[in-house]
C-alpha cells in the first residue's frame, strides 16, 4: 500500500500514462495529463509559499480543476480541506478560520463571495477557476500556465495529517475531522478489495468529490488505474445515458439517486450489460427498492456504511461473496465494530439487540481539529469511536443500521425509528420516495409523519397508505400524518435531510390556516 495519497496519480501514471483516467462532460484526461496538471498546481502552491502542514481549502462542485487541485495540494505535503458545496460563504469563512487555512482554491461561482477574505482571515491567496475571474483573485489558469509538469514529492509521513473534512454541523458548528494519510490510504485499499475495483472498471458517479463517499470512490478509481466518469451534478437521465455510452461497470450513489433512476422511462431501454456492481451508502435504502434496481442493472446491489470520521466506508459486503438486502455487511479488514447500550457505552449488547455502533481501527480519525471537548465526547476512554448510529448484529455476524440516534422519534415513551417506517412505505407500489420525521404533539410529545413523493400517474389517498402501513407495522409505529410532496429536502450528495422535513409540515399548516381564514372571511 502506498504511504501517502500524494503518490496515487504519480504511481498510476508511471504504469499506464496514456490510459483515460477521467471523463467529465466532453473532456477526457489521461493519467499522464492529470499527473502533469496536478504537478503544475503543486509547483505553483510552493511558489506561493505553501509548505507541508499548511491547510488549503478546496471549494467547488465536481470539476477537473477540483481533482488536480486535490492531488496538487497533497503533493506539496499540505493538508487539504474539502468543503461541502452547500455551505454558505459565512459557513465557509468559519471553516477557513477554524482550520487556519492559508489558501483557497474554488470555483468562480463559490469563490466570488470570498473575495476580500484575505483582509480578515489567515488566507493569503484566493484562486478561482472558471471564466472571467475578477480582480481580487488569482485565476486558476495563472496557477498552471507557466508551471513545470514535474514535481518532486517530499517525504510524507503516513501518520501525518492529510485531510480536515468538516461535518455538516447539524447539531451546532461544523467540526473538522482530522484524517491521516494512513487512514485514507487504508480505506482506499479496503474499498478496492471489498468491491473488486480494478483497472478494467469504468466507474460512473455524481457523488461530490468533497464528500467522503465521493472522495474514496475517486481515489480508489485512480489508485487501481480505472476510468472515472465524473458528473458535476446528478441528473437521472444523463446518468443512465452516461452508463450506457461509456459501458459502465460500477455505479456508486445514495438512495435518492437510485429512486430517481427507477423513475426514468429510458431505464427500460438502456444497455447495462457490462455492469458488475452497484453500491449505495449515505442512508439506509429500502430492500424493496434495492431489488428493483438489481432487476434493471442485472448485477449485485450492495449497501455499505461509512462516515466522514472514517475516511470512507467501514462496513460492507465483499463483491464476490454472499450479501443481503437490508444489511450493510461486515467490518472491513483491520476494523473492529461492536454494539453498545445507547445510554451506557460500556455495556456491550448481545446478538439481535439494537444499540449504538462503535468502531475502532486505522481508518478512524485522530479527532476534531482544535476541539478537544467534541473529540472527548465522541471517543470512549479506550479509544472506540461512537458513531451516533443505532445498529444491530445478527447470528451470522452481519450488521444492520436501524437509524441515527438523533433521528429517533419518541412517542408516548415508545422509540420509533424513521428508517423502519420508510422501508415499509417505500415498498408500496405507488411510492417513489419517502421520508419520515417528527412533528410535535401536546399529549404524546412527538408523532411520526410521512412525506411521500408519488410515482408518476399514481394517486393513492392517505388512507390507502395508512392501511398499507397497518399491515406491516405495530400500531404505535404508524405515521399519524401523511403529506404528499413534489420533492424532499436533500444534501449535496442527495441524502434526505430529515431535520428539514418540519419545514414542509409548517408550510402546509400555514397554507391550511390561510385557507381557513379566507373561508371564514
- What DSSP designation does 490 have? B
Report the range out of 131-145, 186-200, 417-431 with the highest average pLDDT.
Answer: 186-200
Q: Which helix (H) or strand (E) holds 230?
A: strand 227-230
Give the integer Cα–Cα distance in Å for 293 and 326: 14
Nearest-10 Cα torsion for 213, 217, 218, 224: 160
- For residue 313, pLDDT over 80 is answered with yes
Predicted confidence band of residue 343 (pLDDT cuts 50, 70, 90)? confident
Residue 158: is its pLDDT beyond 80? yes
The mean pLDDT of 243-269, rounded to a whole number, is 95
User: Helices (H), strands (E): how many in the chain?
Assistant: 15, 27
**Under CATH, which architecture does the 326-405 domain have?**
Roll (2.30)
Q: How many residues are recorded in the chain? A: 521
Which helix or strand (DSSP H or E) is residue 38 part of?
A: helix 31-47
Q: 139-148, 158-167, 491-500: which range is least confident on average?
A: 491-500
Give residue 521's pLDDT: 44
pLDDT at 278: 97
- The pLDDT of residue 172 is 64
CA 320/CA 273 separation, integer angstroms: 18
Range 28-40 average pLDDT: 98
The top-level CATH class assigned to 7-14+31-180 is alpha beta
Tens-place pLDDT, residues 281-310: 988 888 989 999 999 999 999 999 999 999
pLDDT above 80: residue 38: yes
Read off the DSSP letter of residue 139: E
pLDDT of residue 366: 97
CB-based contacts of 335: which residues, under 8 Å, 6+ apart? Answer: 190, 314, 315, 359, 360, 361, 362, 363
Residue 519 has pLDDT above 50, yes or no: no
Domain ranges across the chain: 7-14+31-180, 326-405, 408-520
382: β partners: none
Mean pLDDT of 455-469: 93
Q: How far apart are CA 211 and CA 79, in angstroms?
A: 16
Multiple choice CATH, 408-520, 3.40.50.170, 3.30.565.10, 3.30.300.30, 3.50.50.60: 3.30.300.30
Residue range 202-238, pLDDT digits in tens = 999 999 999 999 999 999 999 999 999 999 999 999 9
Q: What does the mean pLDDT of the chain come to?
A: 92
Residue 417: the pLDDT is 82
Structural Rg of the chain based on CA atoms: 23
Residue 517's pLDDT is what? 41
Quote helix, strand, coil % in the chain, to nearest 5: 35, 25, 40
Whole-prediction pTM value? 0.86
Cell numbers describing residue 93: 469563512
Give a three-class secondary structure readout of 372-385: HHHHHHHECCCCCE
Residue 1 confidence (pLDDT): 67
Average pLDDT over residues 410-431: 86
Segment 114-132 shows an average pLDDT of 91
Would the pLDDT of 169 be above 70?
A: no
The pLDDT, as a whole number, for residue 516 is: 44
- Beta strands of 405-444 (E only): which ranges? 409-411, 414-416, 431-441
With H, G, I as helix, E, B as strand and everything else as coil, classify residue 469: helix
Distance CA 140, CA 72 (A): 13
Q: In DSSP terms, which residues pair with 103 in a beta bridge?
A: 56, 125
Measured between alpha carbons, how far is 12 from 31 in angstroms, rounded to an integer? 7
Query: What pLDDT is recorded for position 404?
Result: 84
- Cell numbers standing for residue 409: 422519534
Q: What is the C-alpha separation between 246 and 315, in angstroms, rounded?
A: 29
Q: What is the mean pLDDT of residues 90-107?
A: 94
pLDDT digits over 39-64, tens only?
Answer: 999 999 999 999 999 999 999 999 99
pLDDT of residue 510: 63
- Using N-to-C axis directions, what is the helix angle for 212-224 and 181-195, rounded to 10°? 70
Confidence of residue 518 (pLDDT cuts 50, 70, 90): very low
Q: Is the predicted pLDDT of residue 433 greater than 70, yes or no?
A: yes
CB half-sphere exposure, 429, CA atoms < 13 A: 2
Is the per-residue pLDDT at 358 higher than 70? yes
* CA 360 to each of CA 162, 284, 352, 395: distance values in angstroms, whole numbers, following the listed order: 19, 22, 21, 21
Q: Tell me the mean pLDDT in the region 77-93.
A: 92
Can you give the pLDDT at residue 514?
Answer: 43
CA atoms within 13 A on the CB side of 396: 11
What is the pLDDT at residue 520?
42
pLDDT digits (tens, 9 = 90+) for 185-197: 999 999 999 999 9
Q: What is the pLDDT, as a whole number, of residue 167?
A: 85
Average pLDDT of span 86-98 = 90
Half-sphere exposure in the Cβ direction for 95 (13 Å, CA): 31
In this prediction, residues 253-261 reach a mean pLDDT of: 92
H or E stretch at 390: strand 385-393
Amino acid at each position: 500500500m502506498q504511504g501517502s495519497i500524494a503518490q496515487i496519480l504519480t504511481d498510476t501514471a508511471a504504469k499506464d500514462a496514456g490510459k483515460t483516467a477521467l471523463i467529465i462532460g466532453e473532456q477526457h484526461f489521461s493519467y499522464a495529463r492529470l499527473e502533469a496538471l496536478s504537478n503544475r498546481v503543486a509547483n505553483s502552491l510552493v511558489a506561493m509559499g505553501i509548505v507541508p502542514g499548511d491547510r488549503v481549502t478546496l471549494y467547488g462542485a465536481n470539476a477537473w480543476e477540483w481533482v488536480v487541485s486535490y492531488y496538487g495540494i497533497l503533493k506539496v505535503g499540505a493538508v487539504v480541506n474539502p468543503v461541502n458545496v452547500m455551505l454558505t460563504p459565512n459557513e465557509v469563512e468559519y471553516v477557513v478560520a477554524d482550520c487556519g487555512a492559508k489558501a483557497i482554491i474554488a470555483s468562480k461561482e463559490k469563490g466570488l463571495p470570498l473575495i476580500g477574505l484575505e483582509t480578515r482571515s489567515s488566507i493569503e491567496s484566493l484562486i478561482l477557476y472558471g471564466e472571467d475571474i475578477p480582480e481580487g483573485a488569482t485565476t486558476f489558469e495563472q496557477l498552471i500556465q507557466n508551471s513545470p509538469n514535474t514535481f518532486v514529492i517530499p517525504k510524507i509521513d503516513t501518520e501525518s495529517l492529510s485531510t480536515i473534512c468538516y461535518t455538516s454541523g447539524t447539531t451546532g458548528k461544523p467540526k473538522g475531522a482530522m484524517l491521516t494519510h494512513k487512514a485514507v490510504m487504508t480505506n482506499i485499499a479496503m474499498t478496492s478489495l471489498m468491491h473488486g475495483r480494478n483497472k478494467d472498471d469504468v466507474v460512473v458517479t455524481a457523488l461530490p468529490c468533497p464528500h467522503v463517499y465521493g472522495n474514496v470512490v475517486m481515489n480508489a478509481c485512480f489508485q487501481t488505474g480505472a476510468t472515472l466518469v465524473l458528473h458535476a451534478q446528478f441528473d437521472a437521465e444523463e446518468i443512465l445515458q452516461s452508463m450506457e455510452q461509456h459501458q459502465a461497470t460500477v455505479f456508486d450513489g445514495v438512495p435518492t439517486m437510485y429512486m430517481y433512476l427507477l423513475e426514468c422511462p429510458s431505464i427500460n431501454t438502456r444497455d447495462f450489460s457490462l455492469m458488475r456492481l452497484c453500491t449505495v451508502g449515505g442512508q439506509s435504502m429500502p430492500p424493496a427498492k434495492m431489488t428493483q434496481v438489481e432487476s434493471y442493472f442485472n448485477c449485485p446491489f450492495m449497501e455499505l456504511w461509512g462516515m466522514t470520521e472514517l475516511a470512507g466506508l467501514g462496513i460492507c459486503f465483499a463483491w464476490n461473496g454472499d450479501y443481503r438486502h437490508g444489511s450493510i455487511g461486515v467490518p472491513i479488514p483491520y476494523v473492529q465494530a461492536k454494539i453498545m447500550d445507547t445510554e451506557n457505552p460500556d455495556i456491550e449488547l448481545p446478538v439481535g439487540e439494537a444499540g449504538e455502533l462503535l468502531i475502532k481501527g486505522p481508518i478512524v480519525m485522530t479527532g476534531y481539529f482544535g476541539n478537544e471537548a467534541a473529540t472527548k465526547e465522541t471517543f470512549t476512554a479506550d479509544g472506540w469511536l461512537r458513531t451516533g448510529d443505532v445498529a444491530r448484529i445478527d447470528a451470522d455476524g452481519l450488521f444492520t443500521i436501524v437509524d441515527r440516534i438523533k433521528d429517533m422519534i419518541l412517542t408516548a415513551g415508545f422509540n420509533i425509528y424513521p428508517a423502519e417506517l420508510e422501508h415499509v412505505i417505500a415498498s408500496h407500489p405507488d411510492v417513489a420516495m419517502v421520508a419520515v420525521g417528527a412533528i410535535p404533539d401536546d399529549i404524546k410529545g412527538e408523532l411520526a409523519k410521512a412525506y411521500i413523493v408519488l410515482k408518476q400517474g399514481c394517486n393513492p389517498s392517505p388512507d390507502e397508505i395508512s392501511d398499507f402501513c397497518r399491515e406491516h407495522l405495530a400500531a404505535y409505529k404508524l405515521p399519524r400524518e401523511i403529506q404528499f410532496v413534489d420533492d424532499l429536502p436533500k444534501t449535496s450528495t442527495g441524502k434526505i435531510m430529515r431535520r428539514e422535513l418540519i419545514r414542509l409540515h409548517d408550510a402546509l399548516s400555514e397554507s391550511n390556516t390561510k385557507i381557513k381564514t379566507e373561508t371564514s372571511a
